[in-house]
């Protein structure tokens, strides 16, 4: 597990019985985002120091610096083939970098406000970004143009990502909401109002059936997307929860908060056979290649605004105390 912080460090946590953490120094200011390459061989990080760094996660702590942005870099993310990295910055630009050549490939510009997040689609053909200009924008990576835009006049999206099949995007909002859009039909599929403060991060379960959210209200919430309902509210952090991410298998997820804590959670979807879920999901979403965005005629959106109830979970009462002692930290 890798984490980043305003303390300027990347910390690589070895999740074994002998808990050990490797601390990587290099950025001159707060580190805002970090991502593992799909094969786990490279780390990418973004910082307020205007740079993106690529790291080899080993005891030598080697890194290379990608310079091009002129303001704080808010987000960094790998493409699913691991060949490219996309970064989003307060300079209102999105940049795509080659990992192997460590150079800038192209820049996307149309946002008029700080860009908070940018992510590749699973097939690499699209990039979705969100900005404080209150827009969520979809870009074609081949033509380097904007092909669609969703606007939210109630607030701005703080985080955005594609679902595992690449047919939908989910956005986390400063106005306490989470929205799911079908990019093939331009339809707003689901609109969750379950938090009492801004939503800072979201993560899809690998099956695509669940979405976890992290909010400034101090809670994590797990949404059942098929049932269109909230199923769990998780209390553990003392203060705003800044980030959350499912593991590749979906059996665990990690969250980080303003309380300087990193919490590792185990999902209780144990009643499901993961392989069967994946098979079913693959059949359901891979009958044919999804149509390209430009081939679809847009339709009008609709809302899902029902009152949503959930089970409240407080780790201090309902979950065995699995807090680990402070690990041995090796500075690199």
Q: Which helix (H) or strand (E) holds 316?
A: helix 315-318
Q: Which domains does the chain have, with CATH numbers?
A: 1-132 (2.130.10.10), 152-281 (2.130.10.10)
Which of 52 and 16 is assigned the larger pLDDT?
52
- The pLDDT score that the predictor gives to residue 60 is 80
Exposed, middle or buried by CB within 10 Å (0-12, 13-18, 19+), for 286? exposed
Give the mean pLDDT of 78-93: 97
Express as a percent the part of the chain with pLDDT over 90. 69
pLDDT > 60? residue 289: no
Look up the pTM and report it: 0.84
The alpha-helical segments, DSSP class H, found in the chain are: 274-285, 315-318
Give the mean pLDDT of 219-223: 95
Beta bridge mates, 313 = 234
pLDDT band with cut points at 50, 70 and 90 for residue 285: very low
CA–CA–CA angle 171, 175, 179 (5° rounding): 30
Distance CA 122, CA 116 (A): 20
């Amino acid at each position: 597990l890798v984490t980043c912080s305003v303390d300027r460090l990347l910390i690589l946590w070895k999740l074994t019985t002998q808990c050990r953490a490797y601390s990587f120094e290099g950025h001159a200011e707060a580190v805002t985002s970090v991502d593992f390459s799909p094969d786990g061989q490279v780390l990418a990080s973004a910082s307020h120091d205007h740079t993106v760094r690529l790291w080899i996660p080993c005891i030598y702590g080697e890194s290379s610096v990608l310079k091009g942005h002129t303001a704080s870099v808010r987000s960094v993310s790998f493409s699913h083939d691991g060949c490219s990295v996309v970064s989003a910055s307060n300079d209102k630009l999105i940049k795509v970098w080659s990992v192997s050549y460590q150079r800038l490939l192209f820049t996307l510009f149309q946002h008029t406000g700080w860009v908070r997040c940018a992510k590749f689609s699973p097939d690499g053909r699209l990039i979705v970004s969100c900005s404080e200009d209150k827009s969520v924008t979809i870009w074609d990576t081949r033509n380097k143009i904007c092909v669609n835009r969703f606007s939210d006049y109630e607030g701005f999206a703080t985080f955005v990502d594609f679902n595992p099949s690449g047919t939908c995007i989910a956005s986390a909002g400063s106005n306490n909401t989470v929205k799911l859009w079908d990019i093939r039909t331009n339809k707003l599929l689901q609109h969750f109002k379950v938090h009492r403060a801004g939503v800072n991060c979201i993560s899809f379960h690998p099956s695509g059936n669940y979405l976890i959210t992290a909010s400034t209200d101090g809670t994590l919430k797990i949404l059942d997307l098929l049932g269109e309902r909230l199923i769990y509210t998780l209390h553990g952090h003392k203060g705003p929860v800044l980030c959350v991410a499912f593991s590749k298998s979906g059996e665990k997820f990690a969250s980080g908060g303003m309380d300087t804590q990193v919490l590792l959670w185990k999902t209780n979807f144990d009643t499901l056979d993961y392989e069967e879920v994946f098979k079913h999901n693959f059949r359901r979403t891979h009958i044919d290649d999804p149509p390209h965005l430009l081939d679809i005629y847009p339709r009008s959106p609709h809302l899902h605004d029902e009152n949503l109830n959930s089970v409240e979970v407080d780790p201090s009462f309902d979950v065995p105390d699995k807090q680990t002692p402070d690990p041995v930290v090796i500075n690199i």
